[in-house]
Structure 1
Amino acid sequence: MGTKLRVGVIGAGGIATQVHMPNYQQCEEAEIVAVADIHEAKAQAAAEEFQIPRVYTDYREMLAHEDLDAVSVCTPNKFHAPATLAALEAGCHVLCEKPPAMTTAEAEEMRDTARRTGKLLTFGLHYRQSSEVSTLKRFVDEGELGKVYASRVHAVRRRGIPGWGVFTNKELQGGGPLIDIGVHMLDTALYLMGYPQPTTVFGVTYQKLGNRKGVGLFGEWDWQNYSVEDMARGMITFENGASILLESAFAANVQKDDEMNVSLMGEQGGADVFPLRLYQEKHGALIDVTPAYLPETNAHKNVVHRFVKACQGQAQPSLCTPEQGVILQQIIEALYRSAEEGEPVKVSAFKPSRG
Structure 2
Amino acid sequence: MKWAFVGASNIASEWMVGAVRAVGDEVVAVVSGSAERAQAFARQHGITQALTDLGALAGLELDAVYVSSTNDQHEAAVLQAAALGCHVLCEKPLALDLAAARRMVEACRAAGVVMGTNHHLRHNSAHRQMREVLRQQGLGPLVSARVSHSVFLRAQLQGWRIDNPGAGGGVVLDIAVHNADSLAFLLGEYPVEVMAMTQQRGMSRGVEDDAMSLWQFASGLCAFTHQGYNTPHASNRLEILGQQASLEARNVLNQAPGGELVWRRADGDLSLRLDHDNLYVRALRELHRAIAGQPNDLASGEDGLKSLAVALALLESARTGRRVPVSYA
2:246 corresponds to which residue?
270
1:174 corresponds to which residue?
168
CA offsets per residue over residues 308-340 of structure 1, 9 Å max, x none? 4433x0535221122222221111000001111
Deviation at 1:135, TM superposition (A): 1.5
Matched, 1:339 2:318: yes
Which consecutive residues of structure 1, in runs of 5 or more, have no partner in the other structure?
212-225
Deviation at 1:169, TM superposition (A): 2.9
Report the TM-score when normalising by structure 1.
0.83
Which SS does the other structure have where 1:273 is aligned? strand
Matched, 1:297 2:291: no
Which SS does the other structure have where 1:258 is aligned? coil
Distance 1:315 1:91 in 2: 20
Which SS does the other structure have where 2:162 is aligned? coil
Deviation at 1:179, TM superposition (A): 2.5
1:13 corresponds to which residue?
9
Which SS does the other structure have where 1:108 is aligned? helix
Q: Which has the larger radius of gyration?
A: 1
Relative to structure 1, is the Cα distance of residues 19 and 161 closer, same or farther in structure 2, using a 3 angstrom cutoff? closer
1:217 corresponds to which residue?
none
Match of 1:239 among 198, 202, 218: 218
Deviation at 1:11, TM superposition (A): 0.7
Deviation at 1:276, TM superposition (A): 0.6
Matched, 1:137 2:131: yes
Which SS does the other structure have where 1:210 is aligned? coil
Q: How does 1:45-84 map to 2 (within 5 A)?
A: 45-62=40-57, 64-84=58-78
2:257 corresponds to which residue?
none
Match of 1:260 among 229, 232, 236: 236
1:199 corresponds to which residue?
192
8 Å Cα contact 2:196/2:314 also seen in 1: yes
Residues paired across the two proteins, number: 319
Report the AA paired with residue 263 of structure 2: L
Deviation at 1:161, TM superposition (A): 5.8
Matched, 1:310 2:286: no
Which SS does the other structure have where 2:283 is aligned? helix
Which consecutive residues of structure 2, in runs of 5 or more, have no partner in the other structure?
251-259
Report the AA paired with residue 151 of structure 1: A
8 Å Cα contact 1:161/1:251 also seen in 2: no
8 Å Cα contact 1:185/1:262 also seen in 2: no
1:218 corresponds to which residue?
none
2:201 corresponds to which residue?
208
Deviation at 1:15, TM superposition (A): 1.2
8 Å Cα contact 1:150/1:243 also seen in 2: yes
Which SS does the other structure have where 2:160 is aligned? coil
Report the TM-score when normalising by structure 2.
0.89
2:255 corresponds to which residue?
none
Relative to structure 1, is the Cα distance of residues 16 and 138 closer, same or farther in structure 2, using a 3 angstrom cutoff? same
Deviation at 1:101, TM superposition (A): 1.8
Distance 1:150 1:118 in 2: 39
Distance 2:276 2:295 in 1: 19
1:33 corresponds to which residue?
28
Match of 1:156 among 150, 170, 175: 150
Distance 2:155 2:179 in 1: 18
Instruction: Tell me which moved more, 122-131 or 294-303.
Output: 294-303
CA offsets per residue over residues 104-142 of structure 1, 9 Å max, x none? 222222222232222111111111111111122211122
Deviation at 1:100, TM superposition (A): 2.1
Over aligned residue pairs, what C-alpha RMSD do you find? 2.0
Distance 1:96 1:151 in 2: 27
Distance 2:194 2:45 in 1: 43
